A = this chain, B = another copy of it.
């Protein structure tokens, strides 16, 4: 059970963006340097974030990205959703009609995995970008 770096990077990059988001847009190049994430990879990630209206791009010289909403309105759920980071505990959900493992009944542990998914998603729905920034400035080393 692990988090992929795409999801992790997306969050890291947005925290960075939110922190340095004053008058000027923040360039991916800067984020790349500060966070140690490849520029090409960041571009892929931000393309997705833009499509989901989490950030806005500013083209041209001195361009970059800006948050498209207030930091307290951006939840982890939104970010993970944008970059296709999903919580998957089990396959059997998709084949909705049938039960699990091709049987007619629900598998013995079906409810458990549902609970687990909800438990994790709860966490993602409660945390906003604002929380993360606060957390970070308060506890800086």
- A→B interface (CB under 8 Å): 1-4, 7-8, 11-12, 15-16, 19, 35-36, 85-90, 101-103, 105-109, 111-113, 115-116, 119-120, 123, 127, 132, 135-136, 139-141
Contact = CB atoms under 8 A, between A and B. Distances in A.
16 contacts: A1-B85, A2-B88, A3-B88, A3-B113, A8-B113, A11-B112, A15-B109, A35-B108, A36-B101, A105-B141, A106-B141, A108-B132, A108-B136, A111-B136, A112-B127, A112-B135
A132 B120 contact: no
Contacts of A3: 1, 88-90, 113, 116
A89 to B, nearest CB: 5
Given A2-B88, A85-B1, A119-B123, A36 B112 contact: no
Protomer copies: 2
A139 B109 CA distance: 11
Contact of A116 (B4, B101, B123, B139): B123
